[in-house]
Amino acid sequence: MNWQERWTGWRNRILSDPGFQHWAARLWMTRPVARMRARRIFDLVAGFAYSQVLDACIRSRLLDRLAEGPMTSRAVAAATDLPEAGAERLLRAAAALRLTERLDDGRWTLGSDGAALRGNGGIADMVAHHHLLYADLADPLALLRRGGGGGALARYWHYAEDVGQGDGDQVAPYSALMAASQPLIAKQVIDAYRFSRHRRMLDVGGGQGAFLCAVAAAAPALELALFDLPAVGVRARQACDSAGCGDRVTIHGGSFLADPLPQGYDLITLVRVLHDHDDDPAMFLLRSIHAALPPAGRLLLAEPMARTRGAEPAGDAYFGLYLLAMGSGRPRSFEEIAGMAKAVGFRRIRRIRTAMPLTTSILLAER
Ligand SMILES: C[S@@+](CC[C@H](N)C(=O)[O-])C[C@H]1O[C@@H](n2cnc3c(N)ncnc32)[C@H](O)[C@@H]1O
């Protein structure tokens, strides 16, 4: 038995001993840690109920309504089509989670986390589509045993794997969700990297062009292009035109798993794409990007990464199960992606720090 096995065995025997737990909770010195641990475990046990409180707040548009001004429980009941007792129950549950807050006069307003959540465009859209993941996770062991996919979330995005790769109606919901949640990512990337040092940029798997339009505003001289499946490309053209950056954007329709990528771009970006793919297609994609770049051209890859310090649950717990339910891909750590990039020939691979690694980590590499 090595030292690590001995240490974890000893630690775990102590921590699971009811006598030790009782003692630690009573002693003033260990009490704060004991309480913190108990709270963490309770949150783990009850987290699915918290998520459903959030779901009810989003679907009833409770937070949007409270953002317009304080309301009584009765007014909330009328606005959300709930009985007054149901509205009061939801408001209290949401207050316990800091989504709502009761004023001294008894009316309700937004809580501090409710306000922060509303300020982040896209979170509400993510929550609204979580019923798909929730259904797929009803029996997590069944999902793990069948190796992923086959459920509601897989059907939602599976156009990319279908013959013909989707028509406008099939790609619309997923593409719209990606566009709505893109500002969370784009801000982090644009703050962390100077795009104006490049001449021509290609965003691979760029969806409806939300990231590209954000970069367009930050780097006015940059020529821009997007590569995505043809049906998504059509939506990107419309979205970029309506956002006012259409004249700077070229759209290339195709599959990055079947077609070569267009050449002549000194920067290729890959935002929230690699983690959607299993290792073989992910390596194929990295190889195609390497082949498309000129010497010293750069790859900027941005996505939430596994085992990011302080954001561990977002990687292997949330995205680990999300991508399993989707039926393809896995969250990877920076080191894993760096290893893959190196294997296809990239050099000078480095991490660029972002303000919010929970949502966005960045890897930069050179051909
Ligand atoms: C998770 S979304 C990310 C979209 C965008 N980069 C963002 O962050 O909002 C993945 C994108 O990859 C595209 N995609 C998936 N498979 C593809 C393929 N084989 N060829 C080209 N694009 C593909 C999807 O259509 C989708 O737009």
Within 10 angstroms of residue 119's Cβ, the number of other Cβ atoms is: 9
The pLDDT confidence band at residue 122, using thresholds 50, 70 and 90, is confident
For ligand 1, pick from 190, 273, 284 the residue to mutate: most ligand atoms within 8 Å of CB. Answer: 273
Tell the residue nearest (CA) to atom 16 of ligand 1: 160
Q: From the alpha carbon of 276, which atom of ligand 1 is closest?
A: 1
Say how far apart CA 80 and CA 85 lie, in whole Å: 12
pLDDT, residue 166, reads 63
Q: CATH assignment of 123-366, given 3.30.70.20, 3.40.50.150, 1.10.10.10, 3.30.70.360? A: 3.40.50.150
Q: Is the pLDDT of residue 158 over 80?
A: no
Say how far apart CA 184 and CA 126 lie, in whole Å: 12
Kindly give the interhelix angle for 31-59 and 123-136, rounded to the nearest 10 degrees: 100
For ligand 1, pick from 178, 201, 328, 361 the residue to mutate: most ligand atoms within 8 Å of CB. Answer: 178
- Where does the chain hold its CATH 1.10.10.10 domain(s)? 18-118
Q: Is the pLDDT of residue 108 over 60?
A: yes
Question: What are the catalytic residues?
Answer: 275
**Strands 108-110, 100-102: pairing kind:** antiparallel
Q: Which residues contact 361 (CB under 8 A, 6 or more apart)?
A: 302, 303, 304, 305, 308, 334, 351, 354
Tell the residue nearest (CA) to atom 10 of ligand 1: 273
Could you say which DSSP state residue 119 is in?
T
Give the mean model confidence (pLDDT) for residues 73-88: 98
**CB-facing half-sphere around the CA of 192: CA atoms within 13 A:** 21
pLDDT, residue 84, reads 97
Q: From the alpha carbon of 302, which atom of ligand 1 is closest?
A: 8
For ligand 1, pick from 156, 228, 274 the residue to mutate: most ligand atoms within 8 Å of CB. Answer: 228
Give the mean model confidence (pLDDT) for residues 56-80: 97
> In CATH, what is the architecture of 18-118?
Orthogonal Bundle (1.10)
- pLDDT more than 90, % of the chain: 86
Q: Is the pLDDT of residue 291 over 70?
A: yes
Give the mean model confidence (pLDDT) for residues 17-28: 90
The answer to whether 134 and 307 are in contact (CB under 8 A) is: no
The pLDDT confidence band at residue 130, using thresholds 50, 70 and 90, is very high
How many A from CA of 205 to the centre of ligand 1? 4
Tell whether ipTM is more than 0.90: yes
Burial bucket for residue 242 (CB in 10 Å: 0-12, 13-18, 19+): exposed
Question: Reading across the β-sheet that carries 298-303, which strands appear in turn?
Answer: 249-253, 223-228, 200-204, 267-271, 298-303, 361-366, 347-352
- Counts of helices then strands in the chain (DSSP H, E): 17, 9
Give bridge partners of residue 19 from the DSSP assignment. Answer: none
How many A from CA of 154 to the centre of ligand 1? 14
Strands (E), 88-173: 100-102, 108-110
pLDDT, residue 161, reads 63
Ligand 1 pocket, CB under 6 A? 160, 175, 178, 182, 185, 205-207, 210-211, 228-229, 232, 255-257, 271-273, 276
Give the mean model confidence (pLDDT) for residues 142-149: 94
**Strands 298-303, 361-366: pairing kind:** antiparallel
The answer to whether 227 and 195 are in contact (CB under 8 A) is: no
Q: Is the pLDDT of residue 174 over 90?
A: no
How many A from CA of 126 to the centre of ligand 1? 17
End-to-end CA distance of the chain: 45
- Which tens digit of pLDDT belongs to each residue from 183-212? 889 999 999 999 999 999 999 999 999 999
Give the mean model confidence (pLDDT) for residues 270-299: 97
